[in-house]
Chain A
Amino acid sequence: MQSPELFWAMRILLPLFLGAVVTYVIGKIISRIKGDRAGGVVAAVIALVVTVAAYILCFTYPGAASAGAESGIAWLGSLKPDALSLLMAKIMFPLVILVAIYSLGYMKDDSGTDKYYALMLIMAGGMMGVVGAGDIISLYVFFEILSISSYCLVSFRKESWEPIEAGFKYVIINALGSTVAIFGLSLLYIYSGSVSMAEIAAHISGLPDLPVLAALALITGGFGVKAAMVPLHSWLPDAHSAAPSGISALLSGIVIQVGFFALLRLILGVFPLQMQMVGTILIILAAVTTTYGNFIAIAQKDIKRMLAYSSVAQMGYIILGFGVGFYFHSADGFTGGLFHIETHAFMKALAFLSVGCIIEKTGTRRIADLKGVGRVMPATAVAFTIAALGLAGIPAFSGFMSKLMIYKCGFQAGTALGVVLSSIAILNSIISLGYYMPAIHTLFSPAGEAAAKVKGTVSPAILLPIVIMVLITLVLGWHPDLGLGPVNAAVLEILNIIGG
């Protein structure tokens, strides 16, 4: 019998980090012998094998039933995976796999792609570490691993200035966030004398209010930067639009959600008594984040920046779900928030991947220049349309189902505040049409200059992940039960912790 901790360490983290090393070393050797492109392909194949294997291993998760099995290894205490971690793993792995396949086609002309895939595995490992962390040190360290690998990936195409600048901004603002967060974590350590979340939580009820609140504020601020909550979001539009599209998909689809997840883990693990207050803070931040993100997205001329701001807005929805969940103690809020993480991951990745394909073919990111592209690359443009309509919460696409739950949880609270929140969320979905529809409209307008530049067909490696994500978006839009299994398990876990 295996404990979940050992499982997480040996079957999820170890393959990813070891795989990163193997990917890099073998990729490097091959690229020395056979050239850069061959090295990249080999690295991609190794990375794919590793992620697929880890993904399959996910399904052998032993579960809480065998949690009693003592491993007797001291360092395993730093991990504490549960159903929530498993949910994030089940969202992250397919996303990484699809992005890796996409990158095979998308990055084939770049140099040094052996490093690219290795970094991607480190990033995945960092994320899995964060979601499985059981003490504040491992949480912080894994988060830094995640951050550093994503800085590198954002600036991966270092031939032009923009990614460098965006990466630099990303490093500085996120380092600031990390500093603030570790201040908060240190406060917790000073007052409780322990790094394990369970032990801190046991101590915390006896502590004076001020340090606890200070720690909560610092942690919310610190991880708020990573989760791109307005007004701490300013790094996101630059980083997400300058990164290669596959990486934008990962950043927007899962990395900022992991940032929020770290905050969630700390709230659940350390501050269960301050639930109501946390709920209030999250609700306010969420309402501001969604509205701000949507309005600024309308003003964007660059399609990737538009999608990046849309990620800010969508983070608002996710946070709103959790805020309502904490404030009103509603299971539906958590379900909505978690399910939106799941549906949004695939919709936003789909949007970025299809846009990446369009940008690669036309060489421009200005929305106004993309006239008529939909007529020369119909499959990609239709995929983008599906992603955009899904993100706007139009029925028949998965985004509707998850947003519906978030809308519903506000009404379910039965108070004026809940009704107002849900109405804000619904009206925001309409506002978001204000930028998705013109973008779709431009793509399908009569042909312009950019459309004339499009030559050749899209490679199957790019098309395959796009098609799979379209299918996921449509299937979850008609039959959300298929994606709700792990979500419900995770919600049960949350309710266990907060005693609902």
Chain B
Amino acid sequence: MKYSLIPLLIFVIPLLASLVCMALKKRPRWSQEIALVTCLATAALSLALVPEVLRHGSAGIDLAWIKSFGFNFSLLVDALGSFTIVTITVLMAIDIIYARQYMTPEEAGSSFYGWTLMFMAAMVGAVAATQLIQFYFLWELMLIPSTALIVYWGSGKRPQATGFKYFVITHIGAALILIAILWIITVTGESNIYALAGALAHLPASTLTVLAVLFTIGFAVKMAIFPAHVWLPDAHSEAPLPVSVMLSAIMMNMGIYGLIRFLFTLFPAGVANSLGLALMIFALISQWYGGLQALNHTEMKRVAAYSTISQMGYVLFGIASLSMLGLKGSIFHMLNHGTAKALLFMSIGSVIHSTGATHLDKVGGLAKKMPWTALCCSVAALALAGAPPLGAFQSEWIIFAGGFSSPYTVLAIIAVCASVLTAFYVLRLVMRVFFGHERNECGDINEVHEAPPAMLASMFALSLLSLAVGIYPDFFHRWIEVALQTFGLF
């Protein structure tokens, strides 16, 4: 481990900034600027950490925390962690830029930015956490800000009920994680995630399987894998748009990160193997269920939300294939799905912002009025459908290749077929909204205008990111390979 302050800074700066924003109750405009600067600084710092991590393997810092429990507060970022953190912070920075024009500072209020920054701090902290209890603490710390964002700024009929459902169901998942964590600490006496692999190897296989199942279910709830997906459609579609982006494109990565980190670096290889087939089946169900539901709904945000369930199915499929390729694809898909899903949500957001329509059958032919949004939405749709040369193509084919290298070729074929379904529902959305006869049932069609500049800028940034990753994936491949080397499984 290389001593580095950056992991601490990227956790503490947003946390402090969130408190400052909360305190500046009367000055939402200031909070907005503070949030922007903080997010950009955090993104820059996390990017600055990348070369160091690639050179030294990991970087971090160790501080004393709760002496009486014997817990430290140590933050450590390795290649997997830095990939996740960079995804989180970069997408968050772009999302904050988008939020500036989607909501006026007065609409949002200071606390919107306060909660957002706290949410980001908790996510970054959880990824960088090295102690099990510290991980759980920060993992749960994500819950309060995200619930507050859904409840206070939610648009549905009953945002409280949605927030309640979200809180309780994901908390149940977290409780399973807590049980597993406490069990591990007491049985092995080791609480450092990075030192656990050796300690766990001595446990009986039955205990390990139970632990692995607890972790898997816990993280699958956060990933909204069928049948633990019930909280997602409401939460993601009723949250205000910038928050939908945070939940769908950014927070989902936490579930993926947790599953990969805990299932693969902690447990001996045999344990994951015993779960492979079951996980693969659930992955397929999620993929197909999410896709069919997305096709079934006409509310645009709900389509995107169900698409997230389906996409998480892809990711889990890659993980469940238990192959080097599948895992690589899943990790890579964190960034690519995040980018594409954020872009899809943002373009839906611009449509809602300018027409007031929330259902895709209420509008049509908007491409002439909002050409750039139409372009960005198409990029997002093509990316999700796995079309080259966009980023998601790079990760999806690796996931499928991983699937075919597993013993279950039939299941891999079914998974590939689901990508046709994906193409179908995303392109349906683009066709209905942007092409065909020009109309707007929710307002005057002549008043429909292109999205304001900051929103467009963040959409362009995401489109370019997706394109750049698709055309030049080499760097990311190397990055993820470094991450996978630490697993020592394959």
B354-398 near A? 1/0 per residue, CB < 8 Å: 000000000000000000000000000000000000000000000
Tell me how far the C-beta of A161 lies from the nearest C-beta in chain B, rounded to whole angstroms. 35
- Known contacts: A422-B179, A444-B160, A480-B66. The answer to whether A430 contacts B185 by CB under 8 A is no
Tell me how far the C-beta of A456 lies from the nearest C-beta in chain B, rounded to whole angstroms. 21
In A479-493, which residues have CB < 8 Å from any B CB? 479-481, 484, 488
| Residues in B neighbouring A396, C-beta threshold 8 A | 137, 140-141, 144
Contact yes or no, B136 A395, CB < 8 A: yes
Contact yes or no, B175 A426, CB < 8 A: yes
In the assembled complex, A218 has its CB within 8 A of some CB on chain B: no
CB contact between B161 and one of A335, A394, A441 (< 8 Å): that residue:
A441
Complex Cα gap A441–B163 (Å): 9
| Residues in B neighbouring A411, C-beta threshold 8 A | 182-183, 185-187
Tell me how far the C-beta of A317 lies from the nearest C-beta in chain B, rounded to whole angstroms. 15
- Known contacts: A396-B141, A437-B168. The answer to whether A488 contacts B178 by CB under 8 A is no
In the assembled complex, B424 has its CB within 8 A of some CB on chain A: no
| Residues in A neighbouring B179, C-beta threshold 8 A | 422-423, 426
B111-137 near A? 1/0 per residue, CB < 8 Å: 000000000000000000000010011
| Residues in B neighbouring A484, C-beta threshold 8 A | 68
In the assembled complex, B171 has its CB within 8 A of some CB on chain A: yes
| Residues in B neighbouring A394, C-beta threshold 8 A | 140, 143-144, 171
Q: Which of A80-88, A97-105, A184-192, A401-409 contacts B (4 or more CB under 8 A)?
A: A401-409
Tell me how far the C-beta of A297 lies from the nearest C-beta in chain B, rounded to whole angstroms. 15
Complex Cα gap A408–B68 (Å): 13
CB contact between A433 and one of B65, B137, B161, B171 (< 8 Å): that residue:
B171
In the assembled complex, B151 has its CB within 8 A of some CB on chain A: yes
Complex Cα gap A434–B179 (Å): 20
In A443-458, which residues have CB < 8 Å from any B CB? 444-445
In the assembled complex, A414 has its CB within 8 A of some CB on chain B: yes
In the assembled complex, B435 has its CB within 8 A of some CB on chain A: no
B396-433 near A? 1/0 per residue, CB < 8 Å: 00000000000000000000000000000000000000
Q: How many residues belonging to A are interface residues under a CB distance threshold of 8 Å? A: 33
| Residues in B neighbouring A405, C-beta threshold 8 A | 69
In the assembled complex, A78 has its CB within 8 A of some CB on chain B: no
Complex Cα gap A423–B137 (Å): 18
- Known contacts: A396-B144, A479-B66, A481-B66. The answer to whether A407 contacts B178 by CB under 8 A is yes
A455-481 near B? 1/0 per residue, CB < 8 Å: 000000000000000000000000111
CB contact between A389 and one of B68, B133, B144 (< 8 Å): that residue:
B144
| Residues in A neighbouring B164, C-beta threshold 8 A | 437-438, 441
Contact yes or no, B187 A441, CB < 8 A: no
Tell me how far the C-beta of B122 lies from the nearest C-beta in chain A, rounded to whole angstroms. 9
- Known contacts: A429-B175, A444-B160. The answer to whether A408 contacts B141 by CB under 8 A is no
| Residues in A neighbouring B160, C-beta threshold 8 A | 441, 444-445
Complex Cα gap A429–B167 (Å): 13
In the assembled complex, A419 has its CB within 8 A of some CB on chain B: yes
Tell me what chain A mostly uses at the interface: helix, strand, loop, or mixed: helix
| Residues in B neighbouring A335, C-beta threshold 8 A | 68
Complex Cα gap A433–B170 (Å): 12
In the assembled complex, B172 has its CB within 8 A of some CB on chain A: yes
Tell me how far the C-beta of B44 lies from the nearest C-beta in chain A, rounded to whole angstroms. 27
Tell me how far the C-beta of A211 lies from the nearest C-beta in chain B, rounded to whole angstroms. 39
- Known contacts: A411-B183, A430-B175, A437-B167. The answer to whether A395 contacts B68 by CB under 8 A is no
CB contact between A419 and one of B163, B175, B183 (< 8 Å): that residue:
B183
In the assembled complex, B202 has its CB within 8 A of some CB on chain A: no
User: From B172, which residue of chain A is reached at the shortest CB distance?
Assistant: A430
In the assembled complex, A141 has its CB within 8 A of some CB on chain B: no
- Chain B interface size range: 20 to 34
Complex Cα gap A394–B163 (Å): 15
Contact yes or no, A444 B137, CB < 8 A: no
Complex Cα gap A204–B67 (Å): 40
CB contact between A408 and one of B152, B175, B185 (< 8 Å): that residue:
B185
Tally of A-B residue pairs with Cβ under 8 A?
74
Tell me how far the C-beta of A339 lies from the nearest C-beta in chain B, rounded to whole angstroms. 9
Contact yes or no, A395 B141, CB < 8 A: yes
CB contact between B175 and one of A427, A434, A438 (< 8 Å): that residue:
A427
- Known contacts: A434-B168, A479-B66. The answer to whether A408 contacts B186 by CB under 8 A is yes
Tell me how far the C-beta of A267 lies from the nearest C-beta in chain B, rounded to whole angstroms. 24
Contact yes or no, A408 B168, CB < 8 A: no
Complex Cα gap A287–B201 (Å): 33
User: From B152, which residue of chain A is reached at the shortest CB distance?
Assistant: A444
| Residues in B neighbouring A430, C-beta threshold 8 A | 168, 171-172, 175
User: From B158, which residue of chain A is reached at the shortest CB distance?
Assistant: A445
Tell me how far the C-beta of A7 lies from the nearest C-beta in chain B, rounded to whole angstroms. 27
User: From B151, which residue of chain A is reached at the shortest CB distance?
Assistant: A444
User: From B122, which residue of chain A is reached at the shortest CB distance?
Assistant: A396
In the assembled complex, A412 has its CB within 8 A of some CB on chain B: yes
| Residues in B neighbouring A481, C-beta threshold 8 A | 66-68
**Interface-centre pick from B66, B151, B164, B182 (highest chain A CB count, 10 A):** B182
User: From A411, which residue of chain B is reached at the shortest CB distance?
Assistant: B186
Complex Cα gap A335–B70 (Å): 14
| Residues in B neighbouring A426, C-beta threshold 8 A | 175, 178-179
Complex Cα gap A404–B179 (Å): 10
Contact yes or no, A408 B182, CB < 8 A: yes
A103-142 near B? 1/0 per residue, CB < 8 Å: 0000000000000000000000000000000000000000
Complex Cα gap A480–B65 (Å): 9
CB contact between A414 and one of B138, B171, B187 (< 8 Å): that residue:
B187
Tell me how far the C-beta of A295 lies from the nearest C-beta in chain B, rounded to whole angstroms. 16
In B140-193, which residues have CB < 8 Å from any A CB? 140-141, 143-144, 151-152, 160-161, 163-164, 167-168, 171-172, 175, 178-179, 182-183, 185-187
Contact yes or no, A422 B182, CB < 8 A: yes
- Known contacts: A404-B133, A430-B172. The answer to whether A480 contacts B68 by CB under 8 A is yes
Complex Cα gap A488–B68 (Å): 9
Contact yes or no, B136 A414, CB < 8 A: no
CB contact between B186 and one of A404, A412, A434 (< 8 Å): that residue:
A412
| Residues in A neighbouring B141, C-beta threshold 8 A | 395-396
| Residues in B neighbouring A412, C-beta threshold 8 A | 186
Complex Cα gap A395–B138 (Å): 8
A332-369 near B? 1/0 per residue, CB < 8 Å: 00010000000000000000000000000000000000
| Residues in A neighbouring B152, C-beta threshold 8 A | 444
| Residues in A neighbouring B69, C-beta threshold 8 A | 404-405, 480
Contact yes or no, B67 A407, CB < 8 A: no
**Interface-centre pick from A335, A395, A401, A404 (highest chain B CB count, 10 A):** A395
In B23-79, which residues have CB < 8 Å from any A CB? 65-69
| Residues in B neighbouring A395, C-beta threshold 8 A | 136-138, 140-141
In A416-444, which residues have CB < 8 Å from any B CB? 419, 422-423, 426-427, 429-430, 433-434, 437-438, 441, 444
Can you give 6 contacting A-B residue pairs, CB < 8 Å? Answer: A396-B137, A414-B186, A422-B182, A434-B168, A437-B168, A480-B69
For the complex with contacts A411-B187, A481-B67, A484-B68, 10 further pairs of A-B residues with Cβ separation under 8 Å are: A396-B141, A396-B144, A404-B69, A407-B182, A414-B186, A430-B168, A433-B168, A433-B171, A437-B168, A441-B160
5 smallest A-B Cβ distances: which pairs? A411-B186, A395-B140, A441-B160, A412-B186, A411-B182
